[in-house]
Chains A and B, each alone.
Chain A
Amino acid sequence: MNSPSPDPSDREESPGVPGFRSWRGVYLFVFIFFVLCVALLALFSRAFA
């Protein structure tokens, strides 16, 4: 049996979040926020070492 794949319509539906037209944009925002968190934590470690 082949594994079911995600419904394309689900992937493409609008997230309904102001400022974001696609889920890809939401994921990118979350990823950038994560990178920013790690960078700030690294700077924090250096500043108070």
Chain B
Amino acid sequence: MNLLDWVVLLGTMLGIAAYATWRTRHTDNLNTYLKGNHNTGWLTIGLSVMATQASTITYLSLPGQAYENGIAFIQNYFGLPLALIIVCVVFLPIYRKLGVYTAYEYLGQRFDAKTRLLGAGLFLLQRGLQAGITIYAPAIILSTVLGWRLDLTIIFTGLLVIIYTVTGGSAAVNLTQKWQMAVIFGGMLTAFVVLLSKLPADAVNIAGAMGKLQAVDFTPDLKRRYTFWSGMLGGLFLSLSYFGTDQSQVQRYLGGAALRESRLGLMFNALFKIPMQFAIVMLGALLFVFYQFQPNTPVFFNQTEWQRHAQGPQAATFRAIEEKHSALHADKQDKIRAWVAARDLGDADTEGAARTAMAEAQKASGAVRQEARDALRAVDPKAKIKDSDYVFITFILTQLPHGVIGLLIAVMFASALSSKAGELNALGTTSTIDLWRHFRPLAAQDEARNVRNAKWFTAAWGFFAIGFALFVSFAENLIEALNIVASIFYPALLGVFVVAFFLKKVGGSAVFWAAVAAQALVVALFFWGKANPAHEIGYLWLNPIGCAACVVFSLVLQAFMGHKGSRVEPAPTA
């Protein structure tokens, strides 16, 4: 990065944060602090919902995943449009009608205090830990390739988001997310255009022939992670949980000027999410084609990690792998060119033979990449051998002009900040409304004190996230574990909301214990799958199973209990 890149990066990041802090510095009304300005329009809500969902992982890791495994991941989003329609029809009108600040307040009104606390507790637990990962995930990649100090990157990012989120609350989050999304769209579009200008004419055909463009898989196989069926059913339940019951999303659309604005904001996402994700995975698939024709394509994209070991005692082994990869890469280029020529000729037999030769060359190249990972692991058991996260950032740093590099690094930080701001805002709100106001109902009447406490809680969660991100750097395996924990917490929570909306005869005690039992079932299924890999089901399937279990258990328990026997909470004072 040169001076121009730094100017673009710091100018966009600090400029947006400073603008939002200044514009929202006088936010002292609880409703505005927690829900945003009353005049928030549908586009701001739509962009805010999109910005909260799409973190840096979306823009940095997803192209790498498509580079490695193709664009099948797009199926993960198939349930999203239907889920958003359901949220608009069922969830949203109820939340708005009751005037609640959080989704869990509704559980308190519909059931009882313990069910509300269960919902709020599950959210705070998983989202609080996720907030740390939201900072850590981009920081580890950017600090590795740019040579920055990891701890300072985490602290700078964390403090910046804390400042404007604490100062302006939901209004500042909405405002910054709108501008950050503009930076993200502009940067990603620029990268896409530059990539297209560097590709051969047959790039899409080559990507297809090399198996990178299988977007839809109708195979009814529970063990496959991404199929049309897992995306439709599992994705539907996952999206319903996320958009309907996760406060970090609920808070984004509750702030609309009217029900219409909230609905249109969600429909904006229902329309554009799949096309947007398609563009991102296509970027990865086309990056794959681009690197097939580059003479110096690295055998391992995390070059910092690779060079750290390649200059050690095993240098000869690493050099041999590099030479082997180089030779196979050149051979693969010839095979690809031969396939393109055969395809242009229109001779089916020649084209088929050339395609087979190309696939074998790709297999051989993949085997050397695996050999490189094994070599890294052999010299250092703690070496980071997953390099797909480094594919796009390598392209950014080596192929884009200065200025645009700064813009793309700004994209990565903007996406981290926007996700984290939404999370902190929701964590602060849930802590204030569902915990503090619940346990201190008299003190909760003081408006100024409410706002002050919401700010303190937001800041506290921000510092907790920074601390956790700094700790995670010493225990990287936690990241995967926590992502899984987060994904298995959703189904039971969604089940509670489904019961609340559709099963009016079920009371608080029945649904509470049903949720606990469903949660235990999901955890048991997950660990049983890990212990018996031959029978492990894709994690998306845990969502409908857990939700259905909660609903069925609620009905059974209610039948045994007979009466609801649940205390009803008073309506919230907005």
Contact = CB atoms under 8 A, between A and B. Distances in A.
B88 A44 contact: no
Interface string A10-49: 1101011100000100110011011001100110110111
Contacts of B214: 45, 49
Interface string B298-313: 0000000000000000
Given A23-B263, A38-B216, A48 B81 contact: no
A38 B74 CA distance: 10
Interface string B376-409: 0000000000000000000000000000000000
B472 to A, nearest CB: 36
Contacts of A1: 109-111, 564, 566, 568
B32 to A, nearest CB: 23
A3 B504 contact: yes
Given A10-B259, A44-B213, A37 B97 contact: no
Contacts of A2: 504
A3 B110 contact: yes
Given A31-B82, A38-B216, A45-B215, A4 B98 contact: yes
B232 to A, nearest CB: 9
Interface stretch (B57-65, B269-277, B363-371, B532-540): B269-277
Interface residues of A, number: 29
A9 B478 CA distance: 48
Interface stretch (B47-55, B155-163, B200-208, B447-455): B200-208
A6 B264 contact: no
A26 B81 contact: no
B291 interface: no
A1 B500 CA distance: 10
A3 B501 contact: yes
Interface residues of B, number: 44
Contact of A11 (B81, B93, B208): B93
Nearest to B74: A41
A15 B259 CA distance: 9
A30 B85 contact: yes
B263 to A, nearest CB: 7
A13 B501 CA distance: 21
Contacts of A37: 274-275
A49 B111 CA distance: 52
A48 B208 contact: yes
A6 B90 contact: yes
Nearest to B86: A27
Nearest to A1: B568
B85 A7 contact: no
- Give the residue among A2, A10, A31 with the most B Cβ atoms within 10 A: A10
Interface in B190-226: 204-205, 207-209, 213-216, 218
Contact of A49 (B109, B208, B566): B208
Interface in B79-111: 81-82, 84-85, 88-90, 93-94, 96-98, 109-111
A31 B83 CA distance: 11
A13 B260 CA distance: 8
B78 interface: yes
B264 A15 contact: yes
Contact of B270 (A7, A16, A30, A41): A30
Q: A-side binding surface: helix, strand, loop or mixed? A: helix
A15 to B, nearest CB: 6
A30 B263 contact: no
A27 B504 contact: no
B93 A7 contact: yes
A6 B94 contact: yes
A42 B215 contact: yes
Contact of B97 (A10, A33, A38, A41): A10
Nearest to A24: B89
A6 to B, nearest CB: 3
B341 to A, nearest CB: 18
Nearest to B272: A33
Nearest to B507: A1
- Give the residue among A31, A44, A48 with the most B Cβ atoms within 10 A: A48
Nearest to B214: A45
A30 B216 CA distance: 20
B81 A34 contact: yes
A16 B84 CA distance: 19
A44 B88 CA distance: 31
A25 to B, nearest CB: 11
Nearest to A39: B216
15 contacts: A3-B94, A4-B94, A4-B97, A4-B109, A11-B89, A15-B264, A23-B89, A26-B263, A31-B85, A38-B228, A42-B215, A45-B213, A45-B214, A48-B204, A48-B209
Interface of B: 74, 78, 81-82, 84-85, 88-90, 93-94, 96-98, 109-111, 204-205, 207-209, 213-216, 218, 228, 259-260, 263-264, 267, 270-271, 274-275, 278, 500-501, 504, 564, 566, 568
Given A4-B94, A6-B89, 11 more contacts: A1-B110, A3-B110, A4-B110, A6-B93, A6-B97, A7-B97, A30-B271, A31-B82, A34-B81, A41-B278, A45-B214
